[in-house]
Structure 1
Amino acid sequence: MKRLISISLRLIISGVLLFLLFREHDLIAEIAPRFREMLTNWHWVLGGLLFVFLCLLLTAVRWHILLRGFAPGLPFGVVMRAEVVSAFFNISSLGVVGGDAYKIMSLSRRLPGKTMPVGVSLVIDHLTGLVAVALLFAACIWAKASSWPQFGPNVRVLVTGYSMYVGGALVGLLLTWFSLRPDILTWGRRTFPRTFGLPMFETMIGKMAKMHGVFTLLWKRAFASMLVSIGMHVAFFMSFYCGLRAVGGQAPVLDVLTAMPIVDAAASLPLSVSGLGVRERTFEALLAGIAGVPDAVGVSASLAGWLFSLCWGLFGGLLFLRARSAEPAHQEAVAT
């Protein structure tokens, strides 16, 4: 019941936001002509699709670097396939199984008894992405520092809020790492024996110790995956730059790279279906305030960038359905 309510709310929020957007910027008169320009600017459409594929490829490389820390023989093709199929689950966020859940289940089948390391490696994978996007955003803001007085009040609020969010997340990450150290956990057991001796806390401490152990094993690989993450984020953000050019808009690449971390964070909030509506409104506000892009062009560009990811998500869905249809035949062959 709770899941049904959550899905219904997301559908309603996305529907309302898109309705308001298309009411403010006429779908037929302002948005549709921009999409027709994608036929003329087909090379930018191709570039957007290639950048999304590059993003998926680098995401798989990033996770594969971590997975090989405890599964050296794991083929890269298995991780790449899981990444592409997970894109299918990520484009809707309606199903019970999300992209991360699918990746954990898919790899756990290949690596029996290693569900915990697989899950922890995926957590580390996302954390390296967080550090990478924070570094990328900081570099872009530093490069745009001279233009700060020209930013509108809405842009300043979004940039300041995102900076506080990322900064707080990094501080929380450091505190978590410190608190999970074995000597800190041992001190907690010794200082608070009654509290830490409770079954609930004992189980929790055991899981945290395992997570810390996996991270300690993979920290060098985590650094390498962070470097890959920078390229991955640049590729994803460039797909939206291609979307902007595909619908006939123009803006400096640096402006798009500066806006996209905030846009991506807003779209990832569990408020709408695949970020629809939230992404477009944020992209519109930031590109208008930073680069002076007309509002209708910003909305069209955001939708175009999302369509590039949608195409690869649908391709991942075809791979998933093909694998599901092949399983019964394989099981019958084994039985005979």
Structure 2
Amino acid sequence: MKRFLSITLRLVISGVLLALLFREHDLIADIAPRLGALVTNWPWTVAGITFVFLSQVLTALRWWIILRGQVPDLPFLVLLRTEIISAFFNISSVGVVGGDAYKIMSLSRRLPGQAMPVSVSIVLDHLTGLISVAVLFTVCMMVRASHWHEIGHDLRMLITGYAMYVGVALLGLLAGWVSFTPALLAWGRRTFPRTMGSPRLERVIERLTRVHEVAALLWKRTLSAMVVSTGMHASFFMCFYCGLRAVGGAAPVLDVLTAMPIVDAAASLPVSISGLGVRERTFEALLAGLARVPEAVGVSASLAGWLFSLFWGVIGGVMFLRARHAAITAPEAQCA
């Protein structure tokens, strides 16, 4: 019941946000013609779809680098296929939890008894992603620091708020790293035996301790994964630049790369379906403030970038259904 209410609420929020957007920027007069330009400006459309695929390849590579330290014989193409199919669940579910759940279930069936390494690798994969996007955002802000005074007050507040959010997240990550060292955990169990000994907390501590151990043991792989992750985020963000050009807009690449970490963070909040509505409003505000992009163009560009991701989500759905059909028909063929 609670899950049903959560999904219903997110559907309502996405619907309301999109309705307000299309009321402000007429869907037929302002948005549809620009989305129709995706066909006319097909080179940019193809480039955007290609950048999304490149980001999926790099995401699979990042995950493979971490996971291969625990499961050496796992082929890269298996993870790439899993990553593409998970894109379908990310779009069709209410958040990235759907994609992660599919990854765990898919590899757990392929690797019996390896559910813990798979889960740990996904947690570590997301943590490297957090660090790399923070690095990318910091570099972009440093490059365009001389233009800071040109940004409006509201936009400066939004960027500052995101910078504080990332800073607090990184400090929390550092505190968590220190907290899960064996010596500090042993002290905590001695000092707070009842709290630290509760079954639910013990399971959480066990998993996070495992993440700490893997990161400490495979630190070279973790650093390599961070480098790959930076390229992955840049590739994904570039698909929205291609979307902007495909709908007839224009802005410096640096401005799009500066805006996209904030847009991506807003879209990942669990308040809407696949970030719809939230992503468009945030992208619209940031591109208008950073590069004077007309608001209707910003909304259209954001929708174009989402459509590029949707393309690979549909491909992943087809791959999933075909694999499922093959798994069902194989036993029937054996019986015959």
Shorter-chain TM band: over 0.9
Assess, with a 3 A threshold, how the Cα gap between structure 1 residues 183 and 32 changes in structure 2: closer, same or farther: same
Residue correspondence of structure 1 range 39-78 to structure 2 within 5 A? 39-78=39-78
Distance 1:81 1:253 in 2: 30
| Equivalent residue number for residue 255 of structure 1 | 255
Q: How far apart are the structure 2 equivalents of 1:32 and 1:200? A: 51
Distance 1:87 1:219 in 2: 28
Query: Which residue number corresponds to residue 139 of structure 1?
Result: 139
Q: Provide the secondary structure at the position in 2 that maps to 1:248.
A: coil
State the aligned residue count: 336
> 191-200 or 102-111: which moved more?
191-200
In 1, distance between residues paired with 2:51 and 2:179?
39
Q: Which residue of 2 aligns with 1:185?
A: 185
Q: CA deviation at 1:194?
A: 4.7
1:157-236 equivalent positions in 2, closer than 5 A: 157-236=157-236
RMSD: 1.7
| Residues 49-104 of structure 1: per-residue CA shift (max 9 Å, x gap) | 00000000000000000110011110111100100000001113249970000001
> How far does the alpha carbon of each residue in 1:20-74 deviate from its partner, in whole angstroms, 9 at most, with x for none?
1011011111111212222221100000000000000000000000110011110
TM-fit CA distance, 1:331: 2.4
Return the alpha-carbon distance in structure 2 between the equivalents of residues 11 and 189 of structure 1: 44
Structure 1 window deviating more from structure 2 (36-45 vs 237-246): it is 36-45
Whole-Å separation in 2 of the counterparts to 1:206 and 1:313: 34
Structure 2 distance, partners of 1:272, 1:197, is 37
Q: Is the deviation greater in 157-166 or in 189-198?
A: 189-198
Cα offset, 1:112, TM superposition: 1.1
Q: Quick one: which amino acid aligns to residue 58 of structure 2?
A: L
Amino acid at match of 1:125: D
Structure 2: segments with no counterpart, 5+ residues? none
In 1, the alpha carbon distance for the partners of 2:198 and 2:306 equals 48
The one-letter code of the counterpart of 2:24 is E
Secondary structure of the 1:98 match is helix
Match of 2:82 in 1: 82
Structure 1 pair 206/283, CA: closer, same or farther in 2 (3 Å)?
closer
| Contact 1:154–1:289 (Cα < 8 Å) also in 2 | no
Q: How does 1:235-274 map to 2 (within 5 A)?
A: 235-274=235-274
Task: Quote how far apart the aligned CAs of 1:191 are.
Answer: 3.0
Label 1:325 to 1:127 Cα distance change in 2 as closer, same or farther (>3 A). same
Is 201-210 or 165-174 further displaced after alignment? 201-210
CA distance in structure 1 between the aligned counterparts of 2:201 and 2:21, rounded to whole angstroms: 49
Structure 2 CA distance, aligned partners of 1:139 and 1:100?
29
Deviation readout 1:187-218 (Å, 9 max, x if unpaired): 22233345444555555544443332223232
Q: How much has 1:151 moved relative to structure 2?
A: 0.6
1:165 & 1:57 partners in 2: Cα distance?
A: 28
Q: Counterpart of 2:325? A: 325
Asked if the contact 2:123/2:211 (under 8 Å) is kept, the reply is no
Residue matched to 1:308: 308
Partners of 2:95 and 2:274 within 8 A in 1: no
**What fraction of aligned residue pairs are identical, expressed as a percent?**
67
CA distance in 1, matches of 2:142, 2:108: 42
Contact 1:185 1:205 in 2 (8 A): no
CA deviation string 1:269-304 (max 9, x = no partner):
011111000000000000000000000000000000
**Residues 334 and 180 of structure 1: CA distance in aligned 2, closer, same or farther (over 3 Å):** farther
CA, structure 1 residues 308+175, in 2 after alignment: closer, same or farther (shift >3 Å)? same
Determine the C-alpha separation between the residues in 1 that align with 2:312 and 2:199: 46
- Rounded to whole Å, the distance in 2 between the matches of 1:197 and 1:251 is 55
Distance 1:70 1:155, change over 3 A: same
For 1:23, the equivalent position in structure 2 comes to: 23
**CA distance, structure 1, for counterparts of residue 155 and residue 255 of structure 2:** 12
- Residue 274 of structure 1 aligns to a residue whose secondary structure is coil
Provide the secondary structure at the position in 2 that maps to 1:91.
helix
Structure 2 match to 1:123? 123
SS of residue matched to 1:70? coil
What is the TM-score of this pair, normalised by structure 2? 0.96
User: Structure 1: which 5+ runs fail to align?
Assistant: none
The 8 Å contact of residues 93 and 273 in structure 1, kept in 2 or not, is answered as: yes
Q: Secondary structure at the match of 1:269?
A: coil
Change (3 A) 1:243 1:112: same
Q: Secondary structure at the match of 1:113?
A: coil
In 2 relative to 1, CA 96–21 (structure 1 residues): closer, same or farther, beyond 3 Å? closer
